[in-house]
Amino acid sequence: MLCNLCKENEATVHLTQIVGDKMQKVDLCEACSKEKGVSDPTGFSLADLLLGLGASQEIEKAAADGVELKCPACGFTQSDFKKSGRFGCPECYQTFSDGLEALLKTMHKGTKHAGKVPAALRVVREAKDKLKTLQKKLDKAIAEEDYEAAAQLRDELKHAKEKGGQVSTS
């Protein structure tokens, strides 16, 4: 069995990690395992290592044949990702967005952020959510021919839109 990384030497280090119901396996030669810090358990995660292997193929597959994608912001390429398993800059997530979801699926619980949002963005998001809810209520009122409520909702919506516009342009 050849080493997954260099594909030259015989693999002597075999790693298996089970997270949830996913089993991941990596076979490495002595030199690559040292280089990747496999012998230092505090700084080593199999997921990190796998990134440079199978997972990056997802990104590769998604790209057009022959033409290598390159991040316009920082010049990072697919082969750089394959080597390091890390991106070059925040913009890379946009550049390499094709295939990213498949990659994220292999390592995370979901593919959509559910946690904390910076306060400045939270205001914008809340305003958007409010508009959506009001629009829904308005549609419902109109469908039910409750024009009194509809008129009130329309005013509210107009007011919220004006305010929301201020937030997003400020």
Partner 1 sequence: MNVSEFLQANAGAAQLHGPQDRIVLSSRVRLARNVRGFAFPGWAKKPERVKALEAIRPAVEKLAPLAGAFSSAMDDLTALDKQILVERHLISREHAAKSTGSGVVLNRAQTLCVMINEEDHLRMQSLLPGLQVRDAWQAIDKIDGDLEKQLDYAFAPDLGYLTACPTNLGTGIRVSAMLHLPALVLAEQVNQIIQAVNKLGLAVRGLYGEGTEALGNVFQVSNQMTLGETEADIVERINKVLNQIIEHEDNARASLMEKKPKMVLNHIGRAYGILANAHSISSKEAMNLLSLMKLGVDLDLFPSAERSLVDELFVLTQPAHLQRQFTEKLGAEERDLLRADMVRDRLRQVARPVTKPAEGGKGPAENGGAK
Q: How far is the CB of 108 from partner 1 (least distance, A)?
A: 4
Toward partner 1, which CB reaches closer, 79 or 139?
Answer: 79
CB 91 within 8 A of CB 142: no
Do 164 and 127 meet the contact criterion of CB atoms below 8 Å apart? yes
Nearer to partner 1, 54 or 85 (CB): 85
Question: Of the two residues 106 and 135, which places its CB atom closer to partner 1 in the complex?
Answer: 106
Find the helix or strand (DSSP H, E) in which 79 lies. helix 78-84
Give the nearest distance from C-beta 49 to partner 1 in angstroms. Answer: 10
Q: How far is the CB of 8 from partner 1 (least distance, A)?
A: 23
| Cβ–Cβ < 8 Å for 80, 88 | yes
Pick between residue 76 and residue 150 the one whose CB is nearest to partner 1. 76
Buried b (16+ CB within 10 A) or exposed e, 99-109: bbeebeeeeee
> What's the full length of the chain, in residues?
170
Enumerate binding residues for partner 1 (CB under 8 A): 17-21, 39-43, 45, 47-48, 51, 73-74, 76, 80, 84-90, 93, 100, 103-104, 107-121, 125
- Min. distance of Cβ 126 from partner 1 in angstroms? 12
Calculated CA dihedral for residues 125, 129, 132, 136, nearest 10 degrees: 180
